[in-house]
Structure 1
Amino acid sequence: MHIHWFPGHMAKAQRMIREQLKLIDVVIELLDARIPYSSANPVISEIIGEKPHVVALNKIDLAEPELTKQWMSHFQNMNFSVVALDAASGNGMKNLIGQVEKIAGDKLAKLAAKGIKPRAVRAMILGIPNVGKSSLINRLLGSATVRTGDKPGVTRGQQWIKVGKNLELLDTPGVLWPKLDDQEIAFKLAATGAIKDDVYDAEKVILKLVGLLRDDYSERLITRYNLPLPLPADDSELLGLIAARRGCLRSGGIVDYDKAGRIVLNEFRSGKLGGFTLDRPNTELDGMSNN
């Protein structure tokens, strides 16, 4: 399985971000709570540099609560300001705003000391595609004024958005790194929907996902699809069994693996199979240390 994806607009997005960064007080780096490591773009870290920023773990409703706590501790131990949130429900919004205002306080205080008129905190939201940036802004505004979608690549331009009297947000396009050399990371990005479904071998990703679910979450598979024991050791055979249980059969009784695979993938992404955290914090994640 080899996944490589870097659309031309991604390079343009990086240039736009670099140009606007000098106007920003705080960067909000939005990560997917299911894959905090895999969704942490090293290009974003390089762009941010020493700019103050908050790490926001989004989609906690789709992640495993205990592992989210471990990730929170991991980032805190690395001296990051970190919040957990669910943009869809609004959980964690007040905490995020509080952290942003707190971090920006020193800069605004210095401006005030120079006699500069008080102004709203200026924050930039950065993250990979489909991590929930537009949904976060909509939740902060209280209305769906920013176009959102369940596919990566919806937000293409930049726009300033006023949130109350004390915060201005700059929305930006999602940025993936130019080369996905780590195919394990590429798989996790594909499985969670950060990479468009039409640019990778969906069959291989789905079979790998089915195997992962069998090995680490077998009880969920058995319960969701009413599967008999023992589960097949072969990924294709297991998918075929799921297809049979869900009636994914073509004329003549031929198994429709594609339809069954899409069912598993969609139910994995939507939370119908429960919460998943594919990245686990450990001592090997030193690369995420604060810049």
Structure 2
Amino acid sequence: MNIQWFPGHMAKARRQVTEKIKLVDIVFELVDARIPLSSRNPILDEIIGEKPRVIILNKSDLADPIQTKKWVAYFNEQGIAAVPIVAQEGKGMKQLMEKAKEILQPKFDRRAAKGIKPRAIRAMSIGIPNVGKSTLINRFIKKNVAITGNKPGVTKAQQWLKLGKELELLDTPGILWPKFEDPAVGEKLALTGAIKDTILQMDEIAMYGIGIMKTYYPETFAKRFLLTKEELELGTPELLMLISERRGFREDYSRAAEMLIYEIRSGKAGRFTLDIAPVSLPKE
């Protein structure tokens, strides 16, 4: 599957982020906890440079918890702080602020030594579409100011938001990169909803999702769709047809594919992580 998507507003957003990053103390880089590597825009390292950052693994309630722990350990090994959160429910927000304060404490201590009055942390929220940047902001300020939506590309412009006395946050539009060198990255982004469905072949994405779930998370997948062990051995096209029939879609495989993708994305078919962390957790 060859997926390409780089609309003009993303190129503009990249230029704006590059211009504004010097104004912030720290970068909040949001990733999807189900694809912590594939949802990291490779051009962001160049843009962020040496600026302090926290990688925020959002939607961690939908991800494999063991893999999430491994990804936090991996990023820490790389010298990057990482915090899993569930922005929709506000889980992990306190830990995120504590981590940001910890990272920036030496900077603010130096400012205090020079007699400079303390001020709020200035942060930039950055990441690809549909990782939850707007939802994160709404949880910080406890009311709906940033526009949210379960589809990529909702935030179209940069905006500064004052979040109490502790934080000033610059929200930015989601930025995808021009080309997915690895087709698997495009498939992972498509399955988790980072790419607009209107440019996708939904049946192909559904079959990709079936292949992943039946291979790595067969128990939860089988339970959701009432599949036997023998049925799990069927090919992905046959499984899509079977699930379509059982859900009452008959031969409307397009609707069945949309339903199946929704249930995988929303966690109804079980928690999953598509990127496997290159690190082992220490034995307890």
Measured against the shorter chain, the TM-score band is over 0.9
* CA–CA distance in structure 2, aligned partners of residues 199 and 182 of structure 1: 18
The Cα shift of 1:229 comes to 4.1
The Cα shift of 1:118 comes to 2.2
Within a 5 Å distance, the mapping from 1:230-249 to structure 2 comes to 230-231=230-231, 232-249=233-250
- Determine the structure 2 residue equivalent to 1:165: 165
- Determine the structure 2 residue equivalent to 1:117: 117
Report if aligned partners of 2:205, 2:261 keep a CA contact under 8 Å in 1: no
**Structure 1, 204-213 or 147-156: larger mean CA deviation:** 204-213
- Determine the structure 1 residue equivalent to 2:277: 281
* CA–CA distance in structure 2, aligned partners of residues 16 and 25 of structure 1: 17
Letter of the structure 2 residue corresponding to residue 274 of structure 1? G
- Determine the structure 1 residue equivalent to 2:95: 95
The Cα shift of 1:166 comes to 1.8
Report if aligned partners of 1:60, 1:86 keep a CA contact under 8 Å in 2: yes
Q: TM-score, normalised by structure 2?
A: 0.94
Provide Cα deviations, 1:113-145, integer angstroms capped at 9, x if missing partner. 333332211000111100000000100111111
Provide Cα deviations, 1:218-262, integer angstroms capped at 9, x if missing partner. 22232212224412532111100001110112xxxxx11111111
- Secondary structure at the residue paired with 2:43? helix
Q: Percent identity?
A: 51
* CA–CA distance in structure 2, aligned partners of residues 226 and 105 of structure 1: 53
- Secondary structure at the residue paired with 1:94? helix
CA RMSD of aligned residues (A): 1.3
- Secondary structure at the residue paired with 1:165? coil
- Out of 245, 260, 271, the residue aligned to residue 264 of structure 1 is 260
* CA–CA distance in structure 2, aligned partners of residues 98 and 243 of structure 1: 47
- Secondary structure at the residue paired with 1:222? helix
**What stretches of structure 1 of length at least 5 have no aligned partner?**
250-254, 284-291
Letter of the structure 2 residue corresponding to residue 282 of structure 1? P
Report if aligned partners of 1:226, 1:245 keep a CA contact under 8 Å in 2: no
- Determine the structure 1 residue equivalent to 2:282: none
**Pairing 1:189–2:189 present:** yes
Within a 5 Å distance, the mapping from 1:47-196 to structure 2 comes to 47-196=47-196
Q: TM-score, normalised by structure 1?
A: 0.92
* CA–CA distance in structure 2, aligned partners of residues 92 and 58 of structure 1: 9
Within a 5 Å distance, the mapping from 1:212-251 to structure 2 comes to 212-231=212-231, 232-249=233-250
* CA–CA distance in structure 1, aligned partners of residues 74 and 193 of structure 2: 25
**What stretches of structure 2 of length at least 5 have no aligned partner?**
280-284
* CA–CA distance in structure 2, aligned partners of residues 233 and 46 of structure 1: 44
* CA–CA distance in structure 1, aligned partners of residues 191 and 113 of structure 2: 50
